[in-house]
């Protein structure tokens, strides 16, 4: 194996471990719907297929592919955790959220929250509406803003 392959494998392995730890540490209380959850698995599986059919496929490529596979399925969760809002393995803590609002759109329940970066949205199933509202009202750091 070349040095660049070893460095790439170690980097991918570190990212895998960090994402798995974040996923295990932040248990979802209320799961949201992630409209982009199929993008990462499709990209990773496409990369695996492309590498497998390429003419200069090597054994070290297989080691890197094995390291990449967990990335396809880890980090695609979003929802509400005890510490904040989880989107794609990033937890935005309650104290970083300035205001939030809730509204119904079609068959989804939309949580819009404002941070110093801008306004983000998180979608929930309509059946989770009461649970989301009750949980967010119980958090002291949050300010509800009507639209």
CA distance 71 to 74: 5
The torsion of the CA quartet 15, 70, 90, 121, rounded to 10 degrees, works out to 150
**Both 66 and 84 in a single domain?**
no
Q: Is residue 59 part of a domain?
A: yes
Q: Is residue 60 part of a domain?
A: yes
From the first residue on, what is the mean pLDDT of each consecutive set of 10 residues in the chain (147 residues)?
Answer: 78 83 76 75 81 74 74 76 80 83 84 85 84 80 63
**Both 123 and 101 in a single domain?**
yes
Domain count, the chain: 2
pLDDT of residue 145: 60
Q: Is residue 66 part of a domain?
A: yes
**Both 16 and 64 in a single domain?**
yes
**Both 17 and 71 in a single domain?**
yes
Q: Is residue 32 part of a domain?
A: no
pLDDT of residue 147: 54
pLDDT 10s digits, 12-22: 888 888 878 87
As a 3-state breakdown, the chain gives helix, strand, coil percent values, each rounded to 5, of 45, 25, 30
Q: Is residue 147 part of a domain?
A: no
- Mapped onto helix, strand or coil, the DSSP state of residue 99 is strand
Domain containing 68 equals 3-27+37-75
**Both 91 and 70 in a single domain?**
no
Q: Is residue 113 part of a domain?
A: yes
- Tally of residues, the chain: 147
For residue 100, what are the CA distances in angstroms to 91, 119, 124? Answer: 16, 9, 14
């Amino acid at each position: 194996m070349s040095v660049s392959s070893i460095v790439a494998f170690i980097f991918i392995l570190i990212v895998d471990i960090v994402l798995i730890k974040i996923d295990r540490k932040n248990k979802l209380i209320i799961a949201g719907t992630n409209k982009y959850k199929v993008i990462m698995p499709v990209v990773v599986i496409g990369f695996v297929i492309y590498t497998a059919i390429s003419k200069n496929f090597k054994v070290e490529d297989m080691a890197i592919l094995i390291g990449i596979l967990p990335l396809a399925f880890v980090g695609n969760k979003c929802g509400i955790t005890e510490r904040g809002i989880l989107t794609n393995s990033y937890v935005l803590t309650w104290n970083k959220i300035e205001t939030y609002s809730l509204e119904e759109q079609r068959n989804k329940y939309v949580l819009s929250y404002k941070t110093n970066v801008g306004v983000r949205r998180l979608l929930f199933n309509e059946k989770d509406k009461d649970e989301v509202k009750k949980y967010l009202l119980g958090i002291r750091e949050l300010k509800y803003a009507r639209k």
